[in-house]
Structure 1
Amino acid sequence: MVKKDSLIKGTIILAAAALVARFLGIFQRIPLDNLMSTQSGVYFNDANNIYLMLLIIATGGIPSAISKMISQRYALGRPEEAQRIYRAALWFGSVTGVIVSVLLFVFAPFIATNISIEPGLDASIRAIAPALLLFPIIAMMRGYFQGRQMMMAGGLSQIVEQILRVITAVGLVMLVVSWDMGDRKVAAVATFGSVLGSIGAFGVMLYYARKLKRQDRQEQAALSGQVSSMQTGESELVVEASSQVKSSYRSIYKELFAISIPIVIAAMTVQFVYNFDTMLFNRLTGSFYETKEAAKQFHNWLAFRAQGIAGIPPILAIALSTSIIPVLSSAFSVRNMKEVERQTSLVMRIVVFTGVPAALTLTVAAVSVTGFLFGDANAGGSGIVAALTAGTIFQITMMTSNSILFGLGQTNVPMRHTLIGLVVKVIASLALAPLLGVYGLIIASTLCFVTIASLNLRVIKKEVNLSVLGARWLGYGVTIVISAGAGWMTDILVRGWLEGLTPRVGFLISALAAGMVSFGLYLALLILLKVVTAEDVRQFPGPLRKLLSPLIRLTMRSKSDSR
């Protein structure tokens, strides 16, 4: 049986699946980094970023819109209309997939030569293009299952997709490298892994779709049996109540796009920023680096290492943001502002308490994390990793505040703020990249996230009485500074003590030590400085409650003993 998931359970499933998928994606980069040359790495990363950008444009906000529309219809007792919306979405996904895939395949040489200025990139773009045939359909199916509050299907499909993608990409690259077929073909077979991943994900979604269809038929048969046992008059009333006017596909698409377009524009922010940096890297930083080879090295570190690691901290925020939209929409639609304020403040509090330490730990231990993951004794690109990961704190705030505004019915506001932020990104990149190289691009990205998040929070505060930490921000700031400094010093000291060890082993130990010190101090100071109270802990999800409750009890016991 396919079961419904609660808000917290659904969030945990999505977060766990995204975390597994992210780590599989990162660990794929380890063998690929060792097997592929700098040039083939450039081809691989550029093709992936182009593909991800087109995937967001083709499907971006539509799964969220489908989720909202499906859940609303089922809540109103209109399952037939929900199924019609689902069929309309599948048709849209099918047609979009064919069009985008064909266009990408045809225009691959133009993109490679005239936009990225990497003529050999065309083979990688064409190798990944077929993945766009299935992923729009998969996205529609995931949106439908989210609307039915069944997150396991989408979560498992993500994991299967990544497993097949990693196995295929690494296996094919090993073969092609051994045959010495050149950078162009090495990168092409690496990107082809996404095609096999899409087939695996589609298979999982089909399995769950058929299982849910059988379950719905059984429930409908049971319901029909109950209806037939009623008295004639009552039966007529039930039939009359259940009769539904079919919505036309035109009206469905009109509603779908009205909800999804603003979400698409807001959702594409991060991928646009990453794509902008990788595709225009040579044009923007050409005057800063002395040689073309140096520019390629920094490009590779940004795209291959930093962007992969920087995707870890926002994982919980993405899952939480996906789950909170229907909760806030429901409360806001009945003008239950007290519940809206409680849920909004709680979401922001959880994001602050979880997303920030994740970014913090990866930032202070960037040298060890980079050296361990990529087996580089010099931990090349660790400064870029640290800078980009630090900026994810603002990225997390931006993403969460976007979802809060969507839940409050302010769908066009995040879209406007996103466009403003992207203008800031472009202008700042043009100004800073020629002066600071890759770091200029990263600073510009951070300014983009800060701009959007600030504008979002200003609107949210006008709508609801947002209370995240209140007077406790000072204590939180002290907690961040002390735990970050301690983690950074630990990383430096442990790396110095273990200098004689194999680099990868030494980096692993120092990364773990820095993470334990930084995160341990962070938790302890949150309690000792009263940044987190017993009331806060009671509202947190189960795993966080189990982690923080013993510390709360220990602090309260110490206070009572001192009296």
Structure 2
Amino acid sequence: MEKSNSNSFIKGAFILGAAGMIIKILGAFFRIPLGNLIGDEGMGYFQSSYPIYVLLGVISTAGFPTAIAKLVSEKIAIGDEYGAERIFKVSFMALLVVGISTSSLLFFGARFYTNYFLKNPKAYYSTLAIAPALFFVPIMSSFRGYFQGLQNMKPTAVSQIAEQIGRVVLGLALAYILLDKKLEIAAAGAAFGASAGGLFGAIIITYIFFRYKRKKGEFRPKGEIEDTSTILNKLLKIAIPIAIGAAVVPIMQTIDAGIIMRRLQDIGYDEDTANSLFGQLTGMANPLINFPQVLIAAIQVSLVPAVSHFVTRRDIRSLNTTVEAGLRVALLIGLPAAIGLVILAKPIMILLYPLQIESAVNASKILSVLGFGVIFLSIYQTLTGVLQGIGKPFIPVRNLFVGALVKLVLSYILIGIPTLTIRGAAIATVIGYGIAAILNLIYIKSHINMRFNFVNVFLKPAVSVTIMAIAVRFTYSIINANLGNNKSTLISITLGAVVYGIMLLLTKTLNEEDFGLMPGGKKIYKIARIFYRK
């Protein structure tokens, strides 16, 4: 049983990570061409609408899919399909009301938000365009929670991918069509992609639901039928704590957006320049540090049931092994991603934004700082999964809140330093993530008495990354003069991946079980065994 749960943890992480990676790649195909189309100024308008959109979306829906899934699965476990469907219907109507309310709030409050909170009036059209998305997101959440409760993840995955495709295609098309208008109008066209994607995703998952219903037919009640208020009470008891935790980041991002725009204008930048700097930070540099977090988030999600299982069985040895494996895998992903972004910041930005060279070069200075945040974010997310699994979900929320408060204070101070300006916000972000990660680690070590093998978890990956970094930097500096930036960057990244993989084998960082959990891993291990011979 323990082995099965341990294996399912990694395999579950791989499946979730693969689905998330598809969505993230589609997102990259959106933001990178968009950045080339509308530049840092347009990205500033586009990104200004996102913090409030994400915040309202999290407040209104975060926790509901989990709550619905839990209640539905409980009904299915006792064979009460009618009760499971009733939970879905009640939650659907509740979330429909929530969707109408939040989308209306943002639509009619867009002018106040952009003029008085952000001090970025030209972001009004983007905020207006993204508001309808808040109507569709809650609707999709109800369907996704229902299917997850049935342990059927395909509808969620299909609808998420459909939503992202709609967002990418229509968002880019509208941005291109409206490019001859004002930049703020083109940015609004891109923002409307989220609304179009929400509609597309909602249509897809609704179709899947009715097709499922036709196949299953009508369900008959079994036992006592719960009234609406009882179901809502159960849903809220589960969803509200999750929503509170999930809201910490978007709340801080919303406040941070206001601080950055105001602080830049306070120290002498005009509104348009401040908006462009904000676009370089949030629209060009920040998305790159979020890319590796798709896999880390999958590890976090998969850790929760695995840790919970071993805690319930009081199997401390298996618990420690699982937690250490999760942290080690997270660092194996996060370390090379972070160092690669730092040492190749300028080449990567020029490669991705060839039509906005000046903005790309400026954004690379931000990325060379922000890249370090990947390391701390990887540690924080992984240990958050551990704390959720042992029944301490509010500990990482508290720790992130502390880190976010420090970030806000430091952003205000550091942005005001003339030699730093917008890079001060990047430094503050890295420090904020670092504090949250360290607080998570301290709590786990002091309150749960977990011990990590320093050599396997930290030292070996660090040695492998150091050699990789030297190889990448040396290769790029040698071949750039002859091959140009783009080819040199791609060759350096490829070589870095090869060197890193070889170093993981030479240092014996990967073990046979790790290979066994990879697709085709057994065949790879047969080749890799040469490095493991004594």
| TM-score by shorter chain over 0.5 | yes
1:305 aligns with 2:307: no
Q: How does 1:3-82 map to 2 (within 5 A)?
A: 10-36=12-38, 38-82=40-84
Q: CA deviation at 1:7?
A: 5.4
Distance in 2 (CA, whole Å) between partners of 1:331 and 1:253 is 31
**C-alpha contact 1:266 1:418 (8 A) present in aligned 2:** no
Q: CA deviation at 1:129?
A: 0.5
Q: CA deviation at 1:400?
A: 2.2
> What residue in structure 1 maps to residue 202 of structure 2?
202
1:490 aligns with 2:475: yes
List structure 1 segments (4+ residues) > 6 angstroms apart after TM superposition. none
Identity of aligned residues (%): 30
Change in 2 beyond 3 A, CA 1:527/1:256 = same
Change in 2 beyond 3 A, CA 1:37/1:351 = closer
> What residue in structure 1 maps to residue 231 of structure 2?
252
Helix, strand or coil for the counterpart of 2:290? Answer: coil
Distance in 2 (CA, whole Å) between partners of 1:217 and 1:66 is 21
1:528 aligns with 2:506: yes
1:322 aligns with 2:301: yes
Could you say which structure has the larger radius of gyration?
1
Q: How does 1:12-411 map to 2 (within 5 A)?
A: 12-36=14-38, 38-177=40-179, 180-217=180-217, 243-287=222-266, 293-375=272-354, 376-377=356-357, 379-380=360-361, 381-411=363-393
Q: CA deviation at 1:87?
A: 2.6
Helix, strand or coil for the counterpart of 1:57? Answer: helix
Q: CA deviation at 1:427?
A: 1.9
Deviations 1:103-137 (A, max 9, x none): 10111110011011111222221111111111112
Distance in 2 (CA, whole Å) between partners of 1:173 and 1:444 is 32
Distance in 1 (CA, whole Å) between partners of 2:523 and 2:415 is 43
Equivalent in 447, 460, 481 of residue 431 of structure 2: 447
Distance in 2 (CA, whole Å) between partners of 1:256 and 1:407 is 20
Deviations 1:201-255 (A, max 9, x none): 112211322233345449x79xxxxxxxxxxxxxxxxxxxx94433444343334
Deviating more after overlay: 285-294 vs 41-50: 285-294
Deviating more after overlay: 143-152 vs 124-133: 143-152
Helix, strand or coil for the counterpart of 2:371? Answer: helix
Q: CA deviation at 1:97?
A: 0.7
> What residue in structure 1 maps to residue 411 of structure 2?
429
Distance in 1 (CA, whole Å) between partners of 2:514 and 2:151 is 26
Please give the root-mean-square deviation of Cα atoms over the aligned residues, in Å: 2.9
1:461 aligns with 2:445: yes
Helix, strand or coil for the counterpart of 1:107? Answer: helix
Helix, strand or coil for the counterpart of 1:530? Answer: coil
Deviating more after overlay: 260-269 vs 437-446: 260-269
Distance in 2 (CA, whole Å) between partners of 1:483 and 1:270 is 32
Q: CA deviation at 1:163?
A: 1.5
Deviations 1:236-287 (A, max 9, x none): xxxxxx9443344434333433333333343345444544443432212335
Quick one: which amino acid aligns to residue 89 of structure 2? R
Change in 2 beyond 3 A, CA 1:77/1:399 = farther
Quick one: which amino acid aligns to residue 183 of structure 1? L
Distance in 2 (CA, whole Å) between partners of 1:161 and 1:462 is 43
Q: CA deviation at 1:555?
A: 1.0
TM-score with structure 1 setting the length: 0.84
Quick one: which amino acid aligns to residue 492 of structure 1? S
Change in 2 beyond 3 A, CA 1:535/1:542 = closer
**C-alpha contact 2:178 2:185 (8 A) present in aligned 1:** yes
Distance in 2 (CA, whole Å) between partners of 1:484 and 1:269 is 34
Distance in 1 (CA, whole Å) between partners of 2:86 and 2:311 is 27
Deviations 1:416-464 (A, max 9, x none): 2232222222222222221222222122222222222222223333565
Distance in 1 (CA, whole Å) between partners of 2:41 and 2:109 is 21
Count matched residues. 522
Equivalent in 462, 480, 487 of residue 477 of structure 1: 462
1:414 aligns with 2:396: yes
**C-alpha contact 1:74 1:82 (8 A) present in aligned 2:** yes
Distance in 1 (CA, whole Å) between partners of 2:42 and 2:199 is 25
